[in-house]
Amino acid sequence: MRLRTVGHLTAEAVRSVQDNGLLSVAAISTVAVSLLVLAVISLLALNMQHLTRVMDAKVQVVAYFAPKATAAQETAAVERIKALPHVTGVKYVSRAAALRQLAHEFGRDRTLLHQVETHNPLPDSADVFVDKTGNISGAVRAVQKVPSVASVHDAQAVVNKLTNFTRAVRYLGLFLVSALALATVIVIGNTVRVAVYARREQIGIMKLVGATNGFIRWPFFIEGAILGLGGAMVSGAIVWWGYRWLNHAVAALVPFLPLLAPAHLLPHLVETLLASGLLLGALGSAISVRRHLNV
């Protein structure tokens, strides 16, 4: 097929999108909503994965000392913990240092911090690093038996919960996205079916003057792709501006919550959305053309 023929067929498809008016708008909106859900679920899953990774890389086990423990007792406890099997390192954190760290994480929003600054409720603690994730529970049990240790916080439990939640979000997302993708294909297919019906006379004439099946079918494929791409552009724009806004808002309100940076994430996500829209549109029209276009 020559380039000028492709140009002619594309022009025909664009005109059909315009002629279909409201139906085209409905199809583009459906694609936009479907892809928006896909984008939101992807962003949620990716950020939760990121959060899990960040937490995983941080302290694995925290040992909190009893409030009445003396400095000597705490030093001895740290030494005993260091000597435990699978423990690769221990970092003592005084209650004052813990408060400083908290102040750093709260950043500019110090209203909450102000209330605890007058009376520091944080205990002295020790961050315990373990060689393998699989050895954490054993280390936790051993640290709990060390004198002067009041309680042990196992960060891995939180990480595990987060991992499970991320997995659930992924499965739910997969189901939702599949259902919406199906709806998108059906709506685009329906739009193309109406276009086929509106142009049935033209199709008959095209056949009479010697148009090949490809020549007749291509405008419908292109029309589906345009509708899909149109919806993807709408959802892409919403995600682009929406996530940047959200990122700024989260950074201001919950500064210690690590969100993925828009600059790294959004270009890839928008590219994926555009490709998905194009594919869903072409797939919807291909199915419709196969079912309703008798050429």
Applying CB under 8 A, the residues found at the interface with other proteins are: 1-2, 4-5, 8, 201-202, 204-213, 215
Q: How near is the Cβ of 27 to other proteins at its closest, in Å?
A: 21
Strand partners, 62: 127, 153
- What is the distance between the alpha carbons of residues 192 and 288, in angstroms, rounded to a whole number? 6
Nearer to other proteins, 3 or 263 (CB): 3
Which lies closer to other proteins via its Cβ, residue 22 or residue 209? 209
- State the CB neighbour count (10 A cutoff) for residue 31: 32
Q: Is residue 128 helix, strand or coil? A: strand
Closest approach, Cβ 203 to other proteins, in A, equals 11
Nearer to other proteins by C-beta: 106 or 215? Answer: 215
Axis-axis angle for helices 155-198, 3-20 (nearest 10): 90
Q: Tell the smallest beta-carbon distance from residue 255 to other proteins (Å).
A: 60
| Angle of helix 213-253 versus helix 200-208 axis, rounded to 10 | 140
Q: Is the CB of 165 or the CB of 215 nearer to other proteins?
A: 215
Which amino acid makes up residue 79? E
Residue nearer to other proteins on the CB measure, 35 or 216: 216
Closest CA to 77 of 123, 131, 125: 125
Least Å distance, CB 205 to other proteins, is 5
Q: Which is nearer to other proteins, 16 or 125 (CB)?
A: 16
Rg (CA), the chain: 30
Cβ of residue 31: shortest distance to other proteins, in angstroms?
A: 26
Nearest approach in angstroms of CB 2 to other proteins is 5
Q: How far is CA 224 from the centre of its chain?
A: 27
Taking the C-alpha atoms of residue 101 and residue 105, their distance in angstroms, rounded to an integer, is 6
Short-list 142, 152, 138, 155, CA closest to 82 = 142
Q: Closest CB to other proteins among 5 and 133? A: 5
Rounded distance between C-alpha atoms, residue 169 and residue 128, angstroms: 31
CA proximity to 84, closest of 135, 148, 123, 150: 135
148: tokens are 């002067």
The minimum distance between CB 199 and other proteins, in angstroms, equals 9
